[in-house]
Structure 1
């Protein structure tokens, strides 16, 4: 097979650089995948900025959709030509306490796609077959890519929030626009919180069925059962605590967050709970891909070429996109210089 192209992070702070590499061979239990789309996640920015430790150099990207090109030894359940998705959790040991107790998302020696394992900002990627998902036919490659992290982590966060009927979502981007649709389909009332003055984002939230949309420093018209923080801003935690009722839950969905400022104990009292969500499990993926089809969730994404990954990342950093950003590798000839 001919070579591959990738956008590689060589040092903390970036930028990513376009590099040519040999196409890797899949090892025991692995798939070689031709990437057809890869979502751009805020976690990628945390890796670039050094807020999440990564192996360097690394090819980022963990919202991967592609076609199986080759099977490593021992792989079952897949064949060449299958369309698959690769998420953030790319490997778990299978034998530590957490793996044995059904909490593989907390594995002591995990592998993370685009962080400790090369990811999908590339024309090809190798992935552990045990952590790949079949993609529903309902979605194109571009539409499916945001489901692999924004959707999966959002789903785990929604489950952690409990069965409350009134749910607040802080930061209405890639994850929130997916989970809002599921929550509305479930019959919940969704309250969207955006950065101040983001009328476009608020209108977008209302168009997806949200009952209310406003700035993150505003109080909604009613007390909430739970709030999910997709924005990685620690100062939002005390604000969210003040709008959930007694016994309410505040779920921090990001892998990284700025420091949480001090707040009065009275804001937490009344058996309110602050909890974090870490990674995902394969069970999350199985249940999520069932429900997105039932709820007929639609994703909204802006497409960029692979070579324009740095532009896409800066658009995500600035919050200048409605929905998600997705990289499309294109044809090999696109990378000839």
Structure 2
């Protein structure tokens, strides 16, 4: 374990050494010297880190590297070991979470208008700064979330991205009260977002390729669960696309009722085929993207999750098996969320 406050402290961490197909082993485990926390930073001992599809996109090069040999992971649950001199809201021993949004400028027109997710100078955990596939990491205290003491680390970790981005996707999809929602793709985000929508009174139809995921969807309250390209049993008032498959965009648009909205929640999507205006967009159907999240989204979702207590379906991996976890995610062998456990 790192000795808090000592010079030259070190931690074990995974880095994306050379982005490429997961079979080419783009991740490498290294020992890295940790910088002490800056005035507004927290030094966090990682207890668990969720495995997000964005991590896979970064490892495989679908998203261009922002930092050489960066440590992935942005669903971090841990304990504060040390806090910078200007930190007032956290102290050593506090349980905290770190998510995808790592920092923003705070002064651009988007930040001033409460749209910090669109800040041109935003930085991201596991892309611009080192993330949670490590024993320890540094977190900007202004972007850390206080976490309750009750739930285990592995159940909180997926909430910090899969849950938060699902919350924002629901807001963007504009699901009407008591509306019919389609969820395309039922991984970490899908299974949390479906439960959030159900807690709000929506009827949820799941459309996904994996049979295990369809079974889980029905167990957790979905009204139906069909194949990704199937037609839902009734027209949809709204839909969220989590699967990074552009071919599903026209499929989901065609399933919408008049005035319905499709929100595309992924950071990466394969090419979208040509759309037919009459079939896919006419009758005021809307297509919207989802870009990251604001801190307000995070706080709102965590508060709502504390009220409706989602069932978090977790597959656990030791931290030293991060490459295996990403390989299983790439191969579709994970149902629910994968989480790396530090202990």
| TM-score normalised by structure 2 residue count | 0.94
Give the 5 Å matches for 1:221-240.
221-240=233-252
Question: What's the counterpart of residue 243 of structure 1?
Answer: 255
- 1:167 aligned partner: 181
Shift of 1:307: 1.2
Q: Is the contact made by 1:105 and 1:280 (CA closer than 8 Å) also made in structure 2? A: yes
CA distance in 1, matches of 2:220, 2:247: 26
1:140-185: CA deviations, max 9, x gaps? Answer: 1011110110000001001111132110000000001111111111
Q: How many residues were matched structurally?
A: 328
Distance 1:230 1:139 in 2: 26
- For 2:82 and 2:64, locate their aligned partners in 1 and report how far apart those are by CA, in whole Å: 30
Equivalence for 2:195: 181
Name the structure 2 match of 1:111. Answer: 123
Alignment of 1:71 with 2:78, yes or no, is no
**1:208-219 aligned within 5 A:** 208-219=220-231
In structure 1, how many angstroms separate the alpha carbons of the residues matched to 2:103 and 2:95? 19
| Runs of 5+ unmatched residues, structure 2 | 4-8
Residue 4 (str. 1) matches residue 4 (str. 2): no
Q: Structure 2 CA distance, aligned partners of 1:107 and 1:48?
A: 24
1:46 aligns with 2:53: no
- 1:103-142 alignment, distance < 5 Å: 103-142=115-154
Give, in whole Å, the separation in 2 of the partners of 1:53 and 1:104. 22
Superposed, which structure 2 residues align to 1:299-314 within 5 Å?
299-314=312-327
1:138 Cα shift? Answer: 4.0
**1:13-92 maps to which residues of 2 (within 5 A)?**
13=20, 14-54=25-65, 55-92=67-104
SS at match of 1:313: helix
CA distance in 2, matches of 1:223, 1:303: 37
Query: 1:204 is matched with which residue: 204, 216, 221?
Result: 216
SS, match of residue 167 in structure 1: strand
CA offset digits 1:87-125 (Å, max 9, x no partner): 000000101111111000011111100000000000000
Verify the 8 A CA contact 1:251 1:276 in the aligned structure 2.
Answer: yes
* Distance (whole Å) between structure 2 residues aligned to residue 11 and residue 221 of structure 1: 45
CA distance in 2, matches of 1:69, 1:191: 44
3-state secondary structure, aligned to 1:280: coil
Query: Runs of 5+ in structure 1 lacking a partner?
Result: 331-337
Aligned to 2:71, what secondary structure does the other structure show? coil
Q: Is the 8 A contact 2:237 2:260 kept in 1?
A: yes
User: What is the alpha-carbon distance in structure 1 between the residues aligned to residue 92 and residue 164 of structure 2?
Assistant: 25
Moved over 2 A (4+): none
